Amino acid sequence: MDASASATNNRNGAKHVDDSIRPPVGPALTEDSKFLQGILQGDEFTRSDTWRVLRIMGEFIEGFDKLATLQKAVTVFGSARTTPEDPQYAAAVDVGRCLARRGFAVITGGGPGIMEAANKGARLAGGHSVGCNIELPFEQGTNPYVDTVVNFRYFFVRKTMFIKYSAAFIIFPGGYGTLDELFEAVTLIQTGKISQFPVILFGRHYWAGMFRWIQSRVVGEGKISPGDVDLITLTDDPEEAVDIVAAAYAAQVAAEMK
């Protein structure tokens, strides 16, 4: 759709939905979508949601079992659509490499784009590379740089693993999924559920508009405290990002030893 057609649609109230990453014939039902379909009638509930709890429990157990040996890890988020020609891809490779050299395992969603780049950097530096893949209506295979892969059906189980086994989040430019992980982590820090947990936004130019909006609108209208802005760090430097992670990890270890 060209710009003039898009503008006409917007004026008429119509919305153009990008279906490029969706299946061509209707959305396939994943376990997440089945779970969120709503209230079932009569005894259908006893044949579905009740028993689905056991599958969810099993998914937690599998995740804990496969990731329990990760003592020191960082999750890197970012767009699956980022191509190897994009400078952010190269930066994510550098971040993965720097993390591995400092002894951190690298966790990603296991897919392409930024995820692939961070896993690749970890692999190139001899570090441990983890992919937590998710069942989607469209195909998303695991990238070739993952050493340990865990497959999830439920987003909320997967998100728990990211938080539980990470010492920090480094977040590259991305879309809705990336923003979801960003704000969930910041909310957990703000509410005291986790501490000594850096949330680093990589790519100042990409994040600048959102950051200005948070400062002018969200802080300006008193929706959060001024100090809450400091829960997020912006950088364009892989070494700086990893230095922040390492310092916070050292502080966390020191606090636990007291």
Q: Could you tell me the domains of the chain?
A: 57-257 (3.40.50.450)
Q: What is the per-residue burial (b if ≥16 Cβ within 10 Å, else e) of 221-253?
A: eeeeeeeeeeebeebeebeebbebbbebbeeee
Is the per-residue pLDDT at 244 higher than 70?
yes
Q: Which residues make Cβ contacts (< 8 Å) with residue 163, sequence separation at least 6? A: 184, 185, 188, 194
Is the per-residue pLDDT at 223 higher than 80?
yes
Average pLDDT over residues 66-83: 96
Structure-token pair, residue 1:
């759709």
Task: Please check whether residue 163 is in contact with residue 188, taking contact to mean a CB–CB distance below 8 angstroms.
Answer: yes
Instruction: State pLDDT tens for residues 100-137.
Output: 999 999 999 999 999 999 999 999 999 999 999 998 77
Average pLDDT over residues 87-110: 98
pTM: 0.84
Structure-token pair, residue 151:
């497959």
Q: Check residues 122 and 52 and name the one with the higher pLDDT.
A: 122
What pLDDT does 15 receive? 58
Instruction: State pLDDT tens for residues 171-213.
Output: 999 999 999 999 999 999 999 999 889 999 999 999 999 999 9
- 3-class SS string, 185-200: HHHHHHCCCCCCCCEE
HSE-CB at 91 with a 13 A cutoff on CA atoms is 23
Q: How confident is the model at residue 38 (pLDDT cuts 50, 70, 90)?
A: low
Task: Please check whether residue 77 is in contact with residue 171, taking contact to mean a CB–CB distance below 8 angstroms.
Answer: yes
What pLDDT does 113 receive? 97
Q: How confident is the model at residue 4 (pLDDT cuts 50, 70, 90)?
A: very low
Where do we find the tokens 């600048």? 208
Is the per-residue pLDDT at 17 higher than 70?
no
Where do we find the tokens 């990008």? 18
Structure-token pair, residue 30:
């994943």
Q: Which amino acid is at 242?
A: V
Task: Please check whether residue 253 is in contact with residue 167, taking contact to mean a CB–CB distance below 8 angstroms.
Answer: no
DSSP string, the chain: --HHHHHHHHHTT------TTS-SSS----HHHHHTS-PPPTTHHHHTHHHHHHHHHHHHHHHHHHHTT-SSEEEEE--TT--TTSHHHHHHHHHHHHHHHTT-EEEE-SSSTHHHHHHHHHHHTT--EEEEEE--SS--PPPTT-SEEEEES-HHHHHHHHHHT-S-EEE-S--HHHHHHHHHHHHHHHTTSS-S--EEEE-HHHHHHHHHHIIIIIITTTSS-GGGGGGEEEES-HHHHHHHHHHHHHHHHHHHH-
HSE-CB at 118 with a 13 A cutoff on CA atoms is 32
What pLDDT does 9 receive? 46
Q: How confident is the model at residue 33 (pLDDT cuts 50, 70, 90)?
A: low
